[in-house]
Amino acid sequence: MAYPKNYRYTKEHEWIEVKGDVATIGITDHAQHELGDVVFVELPKPGAKIEAGKSFGTVESVKAVSEIYAPAAGEVLEANGELHNTPEKINSDPHGAAWLIKVRLSNPAAISSLMDAAAYEAYIAEKGQETSA
Amino acid sequence: MNEKIKKVSRHINQNEGLIFEKSSPGKRAFELPPLDVPAADLTKALGANHRREGVPGFPEVSEIEVIRHFTRLSTWNHAIDLGMYPLGSCTMKYNPRVNEFVARLDGIATEHPYQPQELSQGCLKILRLLEKCLLEITGMDAITLQPAAGAQGEMTGLLLIRAYLQKQGNPRKKVLIPDSAHGTNPATAVIAGYEVENIKSESHGQIDVEKLREQVTGDVAALMLTNPSTLGIFEQRIAEIAEILHAKGALLYMDGANMNALTGVTRPGDLGVDVMHLNLHKTFSTPHGGGGPGAGPVAMKKILEPFRPVPILVEKEGGRLALEPVRPDSIGKVKAFSGNFGVLVRALAYILAYGPGVRQATEDAVLNANYIRKQLAGVFELPYSLPSMHEVVFSDAIQKKNGVNTMDIAKRLIDYGFHPYTTAFPLIVAGAMMIEPTESESKEECDQFIDAMKSIAEEAATNPEIVKTAPHTTRVSRLDEVGAARKPVLRWKPASPRSEAAD
Amino acid sequence: MRYLPKSPAERQEMLAAIGAKSIDELFSSIPERFRLREALKIPGPYSEAEIIQYFKDRAAENSNGYTSFLGAGVYNHLRSVVTDTIILRGEFLTSYTPYQAEISQGTLQAIFEFQTLMSQLTGQEVANASMYDGSTAMTEAVLMAERLTGRQRVLVARSVHPEYREVLKTYAKNSGLLVEEIPFAANGTVDQQKLKIALKDDVAAVVVQSPNFFGVIEPYAPLAESAHASGAMFVVAITEGVSLGLLRPPSEADIVAMEAQSFGLAPSYGGPFAGVIASRDKYVRQMPGRLAGQTTDSEGRRGFVLTLATREQHIRREKATSNICTNQALCALAATVHLTLLGKEGLREMAEQNLSKAHFALSELLKIPGVRRTFDAPFFNEFTVEFPRSVKIVNSQLSREKIIGPFALGTPYPELTKHALVCVTETTPRAEIERFAGALKRALEQPV
Mean pLDDT computed over every residue of chain A = 91
Tell whether the model's pLDDT for residue B60 goes beyond 50: yes
Q: Does B293 touch chain C (CB under 8 A)?
A: yes
Residue to test with chain C: of B479, B480, B482, B489, most C Cβ within 10 A: B479
Query: What topology is assigned to A1-95 in CATH?
Result: OB fold (Dihydrolipoamide Acetyltransferase, E2P) (2.40.50)
Mean pLDDT computed over every residue of chain C = 96
Residue B26 burial (C-beta neighbours within 10 Å; 0-12, 13-18, 19+):
exposed
Nearest to B26 by CA among B1, B80, B62, B51: B62
Query: What DSSP assignment string belongs to chain A?
Result: ----TT-EE-TTSEEEEEETTEEEEEE-HHHHHHH-S--EEE-PPTT-EE-TTSEEEEEE-SS-EEEEE-SS-EEEEEE-THHHH-TTHHHH-TTTTT--EEEEES-GGGGGGSB-HHHHHHHHHHHHHHS--
- Tens-place pLDDT, residues B65-84: 999 999 999 999 999 999 99
Q: Which of residues 37-96 of B touch C (CB under 8 A)?
A: 37-40, 42, 45-51, 54-61, 63, 66-67, 69-71, 73-82, 85, 87, 90, 92-96
Confidence of residue B1 (pLDDT cuts 50, 70, 90): very low
Chains in touch with A (3+ beta-carbon pairs under 8 Å) read B, C
Query: What DSSP assignment string belongs to B148-168?
Result: SSHHHHHHHHHHHHHHHHHHT
Confidence of residue B497 (pLDDT cuts 50, 70, 90): low
Tell whether the model's pLDDT for residue B275 goes beyond 90: yes
- Tens-place pLDDT, residues A79-124: 999 998 899 999 999 999 999 999 999 998 888 889 999 999 999 9
User: Which residues in chain C come in under a pLDDT of 70?
Assistant: none
| Residues B37, C360: C-beta atoms closer than 8 Å | yes
Give mean pLDDT, residues B438-453.
96
- Tens-place pLDDT, residues C204-256: 999 999 999 999 999 999 999 999 999 999 999 999 999 999 999 999 999 99
| Residues C309, A60: C-beta atoms closer than 8 Å | no
Residue of A nearest to C285 (CA): A40
| Residues B486, A60: C-beta atoms closer than 8 Å | no
Nearest-CA distance B401 → chain A (Å): 8
pLDDT of residue C336: 98
Q: How far apart are the first and last CA of chain A?
A: 20
pLDDT of residue C176: 86
Confidence of residue A127 (pLDDT cuts 50, 70, 90): confident
Domain boundaries, chain A: 1-95
Task: Answer for the pair B189, B175: CB distance below 8 angstroms, yes or no.
Answer: yes
Query: What DSSP assignment string belongs to B331-350?
Result: ---SSSTTS-HHHHHHHHHH
Confidence of residue B376 (pLDDT cuts 50, 70, 90): very high
pLDDT of residue C321: 76
| Residues C272, B343: C-beta atoms closer than 8 Å | yes
Longest dimension (CA), chain A: 42
Of B47-61, B486-500, C10-24, C281-295, the one with minimum mean pLDDT is B486-500
pLDDT of residue C326: 82
Residue of B nearest to A39 (CA): B486
* Helices C48-59, B121-138: crossing angle, 10 deg rounding: 130
Q: Which of residues 254-273 of B touch C (CB under 8 A)?
A: 264-267, 270-271
Q: How many percent of chain A have pLDDT more than 90?
A: 79
Confidence of residue A1 (pLDDT cuts 50, 70, 90): confident
Count Cβ neighbours within 10 Å for each residue of B103-118 and write b for 16 or more, e otherwise: bbbebbbbbbbbbbee
Q: Does B218 touch chain C (CB under 8 A)?
A: no
CA B393 to chain centre: 19
Strand pairing report for B174-178 and B195-199: parallel
Residue of B nearest to A89 (CA): B486
Tell whether the model's pLDDT for residue A49 goes beyond 50: yes
Of A33-42, B104-113, C3-12, the one with minimum mean pLDDT is A33-42
Residue B346 CA: distances (Å) to CA of B47, B342, B434? 45, 7, 27
Task: Answer for the pair C382, C211: CB distance below 8 angstroms, yes or no.
Answer: yes
pLDDT of residue C447: 86
| Cα C152 from Cα C200, distance rounded (Å) | 11
Domain boundaries, chain B: 19-74, 358-484
Q: Does A133 touch chain B (CB under 8 A)?
A: yes
Nearest-CA distance A20 → chain C (Å): 35
Q: Which of residues 60-99 of A touch C (CB under 8 A)?
A: 60, 62-65
Three-class DSSP category at B267: coil
| Cα C398 from Cα B185, distance rounded (Å) | 49
Provide, as residue numbers in chain B, all residues whose Cβ is less than 8 Å from the Cβ of A61.
Answer: 482
Provide, as residue numbers in chain C, all residues whose Cβ is less than 8 Å from the Cβ of A40.
Answer: 285, 310
Confidence of residue B52 (pLDDT cuts 50, 70, 90): low
Give mean pLDDT, residues B36-57.
88
Nearest-CA distance C208 → chain B (Å): 15
Superfamily of domain B358-484: Aspartate Aminotransferase, domain 1 (3.90.1150.10)
| Residues A132, B397: C-beta atoms closer than 8 Å | yes
Cβ neighbours of residue C447 closer than 8 Å, sequence gap 6 or more: none
Domains of chain C: 67-78+343-445 (3.90.1150.10), 81-338 (3.40.640.10)
pLDDT of residue B502: 40
- Tens-place pLDDT, residues B161-211: 999 999 999 999 999 999 888 888 998 998 899 999 999 988 888 999 999
- Kindly report the number of other CB atoms within 10 A of residue C5's CB atom: 17
For residue B82, the 8-state DSSP code is: T
Tell whether the model's pLDDT for residue B51 goes beyond 80: no
